Structure 1
Amino acid sequence: MSSVSLLQRLVRWRPWVSRDDPKQAVKVLVTGAAGQIGYAIVAMIARGQMLGPDQPVVLHMLDLPRAADALNGVRMELIDAALPLLRGVVATSDEAEAFKGVNVAILIGGWPRKEGMKRKDLIVKNVPIYKSQASALQQHAAPNCKVLVVANPANTNALVLKEFAGGIPAKNITCLTRLDHNRALGQVAEKLNVPVGDVKNAIIWGNHSSTQFPDASHATVRTELGERPVKELVADEKWLREEFVSTVQQRGAAVIKARKLSSSLSAASAACDHIRDWVLGTPKGTWVSMGVCSDGSYGIPEGTFFSFPVTCDKGEWSIVQGLQIDDFARSKMEASASELKEEKAVAINIL
């Protein structure tokens, strides 16, 4: 018997659902679930770190047929962990089964960037994958499914989903820049030697690539004297415009160099943060960075998937308006928008 047929026979675990459950279980899909980020995130989801400590979940996990054995191992570990919020596991290589009825989709699976590959090469590999997943999303997911694209090129993959999953509202398709946002908060916290929880309102503008613009000019730090601007506490414009920006932009490469593997734990944690704030809301006075479909705010072309500062309430995100953008920031934002325009042209040519 092949590993695929064995997987399809054995891994549909749907245990009883207690009549005393205060909430109906939410179906959460993770693609690329046998990979490093997938392996890290599924336990976080089942422990309530994404949707809250009292929200039951059913996990749908998708991966390629060649990863069938590894995916079954992840399923077994989830059962062995005896996670109280976990109401079921579906582990499959079939897109239709994986997407069936899901309320939240975390799309991690995609062709990885390998040594010598240009960003254009990555787009060529991933556009067909995301066109196929758009079809599965359109046909099988819940109508109001919330989608987070993690796989790179994340912004352009999200654009492909929007174009080919017309039944899913564009506002329900997002891409991950929260990892970069969290990295920015971490760099400021280290620089000022303060708890990262005291730092807020950094911004990641643009593409999830080396053209992104990490912006601390609107960020603040909680102190004994109240909230104070980061730029006043750092008092080093050169650091804020150069070292801070480049460190956040290149952090993923630095992690790969250090551990010989790409970021997984931090990426999984950021994806949980993204969905949690989207669904449960951002704290008052706080914004986060999300890659969303532009409505023309800050001069970014409408329909471009671009990272903005957003607030979330009742399951909806809104772009923070009225922030002052200086010439330096504007030039960085325009460079990232230009790159996204080029990526879109490549994707359209393929499609």
Structure 2
Amino acid sequence: MADGLKVLVTGAAGQIAYSLLYSIANGDVFGKDKSITLVMLDIAPMAEALKGVVMELQDCALPSLKNVISTTDVKEAFTDIDFAILVGAMPRRQGMERKDLLKANAKIFVEQGQALEKYAKKTVKVLVVGNPANTNCLIALTCAPSIPKTNFTCLTRLDQNRAQSQIASRLGVSNDSVSNMIIWGNHSSTQFPDAAHASAVVGGSTANAVEAVKDDAWLNGDFISTVQKRGGAVIAARKLSSAMSAAKAICDHVRDWYFGTKGDKWTSMGIYSNGSHYGLPENIVYSVPVRIAPGGEYTVVEGLKISDFARSKMDATAQELLEERNAAWDFLPT
């Protein structure tokens, strides 16, 4: 097998990880020829449940799974890792204000950012999944100043997949017939799913998705709100948050980050904004379209025409991220 990777998943006893770990261990993310050391971190009360997950992974008898490390110790978990998938976070509970969630999770991601700084490889790539993902990502990268900011991303691929599926369903085509969907901004109800630059293969011909759908009222209304509120709709139906679809999106995100995007295709990722793209504020983590080279270097897709409608949506989600950042800063160590 090719040289191995050491991959950390936090919140490893949770339901998202339960759908995620098999795909990583089976080579569906990094390739069948890459040996994987899988590190699973969770809080002490979940230690017994982690033992069960280890047993199941062992019982899968996967050729690419070299080793499994189950731990509740942060130092052990973060030492010399190549990838960190930070899933574990306190979920928002009924009656909680968003600032309460920020406060609870700021502490977690300060600790994990500091652990990345102290123990991880300086080349580590970090995907933040735990919500509020954009601001948690900003907290983590702020607490790991010796690791490049470009090595930190947050998950908006789930939103992209949801948007892609909505367009495909509307057109009556397969999901892989739709490409270059964009998610701008925050992984929240202010995110802006943008189909203006997407393509769809319909009847053997490629067309702009907006022109193929031929329904601006739907695209500017129900389409956007459906994607924005999809997580809540899943919770209302399942009484549990998205797990299978979130795990699939994590795999998609990491696979593209590792192998690169193909041809002229792009994908959406929450990345650190330095203020140089599309008039976005500096020092927030904001989802934009990127192309990724093999090995992980990504570049923002430039030159896309932004309508007044899109601009208003992009600015609104940026404003929310600024407010989250300012609230979170109150909880960071001085």
How would you bin the TM-score normalised by the shorter chain? Answer: over 0.9
The aligned residue for residue 156 of structure 1 is 135
- Find the aligned partners of 1:48 and 1:190 in 2 and give their Cα distance: 30
8 A Cα contact 2:19 2:247, kept in partner: yes
Q: Which amino acid in 1 is paired with 2:153?
A: T
- Find the aligned partners of 2:224 and 2:97 in 1 and give their Cα distance: 22
Within a 5 Å distance, the mapping from 1:193-232 to structure 2 comes to 193-232=172-211
- Find the aligned partners of 1:110 and 1:239 in 2 and give their Cα distance: 34
8 A Cα contact 1:279 1:316, kept in partner: no
Percent identity at matched positions? 52
Within a 5 Å distance, the mapping from 1:161-310 to structure 2 comes to 161-296=140-275, 297-310=277-290
Post-superposition offset of 1:39: 1.1
SS at structure 1 position matched to 2:176: helix
Q: Which amino acid in 2 is paired with 1:145?
A: V
Q: Deviations over 1:277-316 (max 9, x none)?
A: 0110001111111000113200001221000011100311
- Find the aligned partners of 2:39 and 2:204 in 1 and give their Cα distance: 47
Post-superposition offset of 1:246: 0.3
Q: Deviations over 1:187-208 (max 9, x none)?
A: 0011011000110011000000
8 A Cα contact 1:184 1:202, kept in partner: yes
Q: Deviations over 1:332-351 (max 9, x none)?
A: 01000000100111111112
Listed as ranges, the gaps of 5+ residues in structure 2 are none
1:40 paired with 2:19, answer: yes
1:29 paired with 2:17, answer: no
The aligned residue for residue 61 of structure 2 is 82
8 A Cα contact 1:92 1:98, kept in partner: yes
SS at structure 2 position matched to 1:112: coil
- Find the aligned partners of 1:173 and 1:183 in 2 and give their Cα distance: 23
- Find the aligned partners of 1:27 and 1:225 in 2 and give their Cα distance: 42
Q: Deviations over 1:122-169 (max 9, x none)?
A: 101000110011111111111100000000000000111111101111
- Find the aligned partners of 2:101 and 2:280 in 1 and give their Cα distance: 24
- Find the aligned partners of 2:68 and 2:12 in 1 and give their Cα distance: 12
Q: Which amino acid in 1 is paired with 2:320?
A: E
Q: Deviations over 1:75-112 (max 9, x none)?
A: 00000000110000000000000011110000000111
8 A Cα contact 2:117 2:144, kept in partner: yes
The aligned residue for residue 326 of structure 2 is 345
Q: Which amino acid in 1 is paired with 2:293?
A: D
Identify which range, 287-296 or 89-98, moves more after superposition. Answer: 287-296
The aligned residue for residue 100 of structure 1 is 79
Q: Which amino acid in 1 is paired with 2:111?
A: S
Give 1:118's match in structure 2, choosing from 89, 97, 103.
97
Post-superposition offset of 1:224: 4.4
- Find the aligned partners of 1:58 and 1:169 in 2 and give their Cα distance: 24
- Find the aligned partners of 1:350 and 1:142 in 2 and give their Cα distance: 27
- Find the aligned partners of 1:226 and 1:320 in 2 and give their Cα distance: 24
Listed as ranges, the gaps of 5+ residues in structure 1 are 1-20
8 A Cα contact 2:12 2:42, kept in partner: yes
- TM-score normalised to structure 2 length: 0.97
Post-superposition offset of 1:225: 4.7
Q: How many residues align?
A: 330
SS at structure 2 position matched to 1:25: strand
Give 2:298's match in structure 1, choosing from 298, 317, 320.
317
Question: RMSD of the alignment, in Å?
Answer: 0.9
SS at structure 1 position matched to 2:271: strand
- Find the aligned partners of 2:168 and 2:26 in 1 and give their Cα distance: 27
Q: Which amino acid in 2 is paired with 1:212?
A: Q
- Find the aligned partners of 1:48 and 1:294 in 2 and give their Cα distance: 32
1:329 paired with 2:301, answer: no
